[in-house]
Chains A and B, each alone.
Chain A
Amino acid sequence: MEHTLLEQTEFVENPEPRCPVVLLLDTSGSMKGEPINELNAGLQEFDRALKADSLAALRVEVAIVTFGGGVRAMNVGGSAAFDAEQPFVTADSFHPPTLDASGDTPMGEAARQGLALLRKRKETYKQNGVEYYRPWFFLLSDGQPTDAGWEGAASQVREEEARKGVMVFAVGVEQADMGKLAQFSGQREPLKLKGLAFQELFNWLSKSLTSVSHSNPGDLAPLPPVGWAAVDTSH
């Protein structure tokens, strides 16, 4: 009798809490060839690893903004209808794009757009009563910003980070100017990618987001060890 009643309990279908991440990816001319190919393979790995966790697949929301000759929010939902103002999709409906490389490196403008997208996404969550985790701002470049005013964009990102509005990760590839990348975060040094280990990098990123998206109030979401970074020999 008792068992029957306990089994009769029905649960509320609340929306899953969301963990938004914007990937700001350098697609300037210097990424041409092997680097862009490896980056594309890295995005495939990101897709595979996120979908491997059923909860992360429902909770992690991905947007990609590229900067190479211009700044562009990518359609990563695989559907014809695309709103560049709301380019986020949950991982379960993520379609990794195949990126091409060309042009200069408007990193500042990309950072500004990425930040705006995250802020807007949070507003949408609030309006819809959806809980969310701190958004991730993930910046990857093999060079340095070529747009005037990038310093202003970098300081906006640092301020948002200081307000706990965003988690910032910057990764430099090959000849990247690590000093300039460092200006996008006041809390975390940029890391240098070991060779073109994009697949390791994106595997780590998906595991980190999976960990965060599983965390409960009061939990520390431990990030997996970084195996993809080059040893820093600048000191």
Chain B
Amino acid sequence: MSPKKSENPDFLRSAVADRANRLSPSGIRKFFDLLASMEDVISLGVGEPDYATPWHISEAAVRSLEKGYTMYTSNSGTPELREETARYLHDRHAVDYDPYGELLITVGVSEAMDLVMRAVINPGDEVIMPEPYYVAYPSCVLLAGGKPVLVPTRQEDGFEIAAADIEKRITPRTKAIFIGYPSNPTGAVMPKDKLAAVAAVAEKHNLLVISDEIYERLVYGGAVHTCFSSLPGMKERTVLLGGFSKAYAMTGWRVGYAAGPREIIAAMTKIHQYTIMSAPTMAQVAAVEALRNGEDDVAEMVADYNRRRLFIVEGLCEIGFPCHDPKGAFYAFPNITAAGLDSETFSEMLLREEKVAVVPGSAFGKTGEGYVRCCYATSLAEIEEALNRMKRFFQRHRRK
């Protein structure tokens, strides 16, 4: 189906606001279009669990629909879910949030991220964040009128952000540090001491910290995730973003939360109230069930992801795509420079020639160039076949 030509293109082009025009269109649109047109592709390009939501969680939502729980909830989210979330954060991270004032239930972390930026950013405020970044981070800052300031992170440092690199970029306009560990796309997990160093910088320069911890449960090989707001003195300057999508395989439910200082949560709630009203009611019911009875599911899925993680990382390294040990999320981030192709060309040719989809690292910022993101939340058989094909591809194209 060819797109219909507009009758008044100039008018409609000018109808789009500068704010939307300023957002960089995804640089890899061409690659996505190609992918959509192909059959029988093995995709390592997804960013979500390959499990369906555990049935007891879905069933809780089904039951709630049967009972007629189909109305709006409180703007802040149901009291049950706020209380369970507060209990969870206390039990798991020993950090205490008041479910009445310091917690807001959102439409996934995506909404929470947008809200926090709009709640704290004044035009021209700078937000420092690591690169490679999750694609939405800089855009959220831009939409709020702020300026993303990127801190390159490197493979040799395990893609962990260094406090000194943050400090170098602080200006009088710096408002916040925005981190997201475990990281999409690199799989990096920040060790506690390095986080503490970031905390010290935040304190010294009186900055807010926004910490996206959506992947907190997916850590492996003895790595430990430290909740940023659990660090001494950090709760008062941190907005913690979390959710249910990754740990409980609930991406399509669209439910997450923000936890933070009362003043900021109140500001976020105001925006949320005018733009969203409340997160989906049935999804909130499901999230309560996940928090109450989902621990065994998480443990089982994490054990299974870890097996596949070890398998893909070894496979990629053996082919000749060196890979740092990704201790979290479900991504491997191999270095593909030995193939002599930039990441977008690499991904496009791999797709055309071997029907394997990976995401070019350049999608995640300039420092992502030379890498591709491979998601291992897919069956072992598919990972194995994808690795075979990547090996064949590499042997054909490697730099002589």
A joins B in a complex: no
- Residues of A at the B interface (CB closer than 8 Å) are none
